[in-house]
Amino acid sequence: MEVLSLRILFLLCCIFAMSECRGACAEVDSDTEAVAGKGFKLGCISCKMRREVEATATVEWYFRPKGEADFVHIYTYNEEGPLIEHDDFMDRLDWNGTKRSQDIQDGSIYLHNVTFNDTGTYRCFFNRILFYANHENSTVISKVVQLSVVAKATRGTASIVSEVMMYVSIIGLQVWLLIEMIYCYRKISAAGEEALREAANAEYLAIASESKENCAGVQVGE
């Protein structure tokens, strides 16, 4: 029974480690080159540093066309859903970020039917509220995407770097999971050895006590 309990505890520990790994967040930069007439994902990821703290977030996107001085508000995503804020992007923007959660860490959007007029600077803002036991903390985090639109796709440096970073993040998470499982196994093994030692000591004391009682009985009989 003791060994079975330890095995169950080890399994639960591994499942917890795997769930933590799946929930991990990696900040990967957006691609910066779109092809005219195609669709393009404007990436924007802001990982919450303390995953155990509950939070909510809203995301806003702004755009400054190439050669212009001012940004215009083009998109908002909050608890009420998405809202396209500018006529030039009407029916061309879709939410491509965190779904089914107000704790948004991926604020990416997808731009359909890219045109050369979409060339410029995009900026996304995370307005996040962290809920602690006795207070709330508001933070604003911004990310910038410099987008260029080309007639034909090319393999840009930013795309290569982003892909490499993605694979590095995946490998890093797998290594972290392996370390967690080894740690759990060692912890459970140590607990099992301690339980066996305690059981052996208890058995030894019981035998010693029984021998002492038998010896005392023999002496009284004599």
Could you read off the pLDDT of 79-134 as tens digits, one per residue? 889 999 999 999 999 999 999 899 999 999 999 999 999 999 999 999 999 999 89
Q: How far apart, in whole angstroms, are the C-alpha atoms of residue 129 and residue 50?
A: 12
Q: How far apart, in whole angstroms, are the C-alpha atoms of residue 157 and residue 40?
A: 17
Is the CB of residue 71 less than 8 Å from the CB of residue 62? Answer: yes
Is the CB of residue 77 less than 8 Å from the CB of residue 96? Answer: no
Spatial CA neighbour of 42 closest among 85, 83, 92, 80? 92
HSE value, Cβ hemisphere, 13 Å, CA-based, for 124: 28
Phi, psi of 94 (to 5 degrees): -125, 145
Judged by DSSP in three states, 45 sits in strand
Q: For the chain, report the end-to-end CA distance as a whole number of angstroms.
A: 44
Give residue 139's pLDDT band: very low, low, confident or very high (50, 70, 90): very high
Mean residue pLDDT across the chain: 82
pTM, 2 dp: 0.61
- Provide the Cα torsion 189, 191, 193, 196; round to 10°: -140
The pLDDT of residue 169 is 76
- Provide the Cα torsion 146, 149, 153, 155; round to 10°: -20
Question: What's the alpha-carbon Rg for the chain, to the nearest Å?
Answer: 30
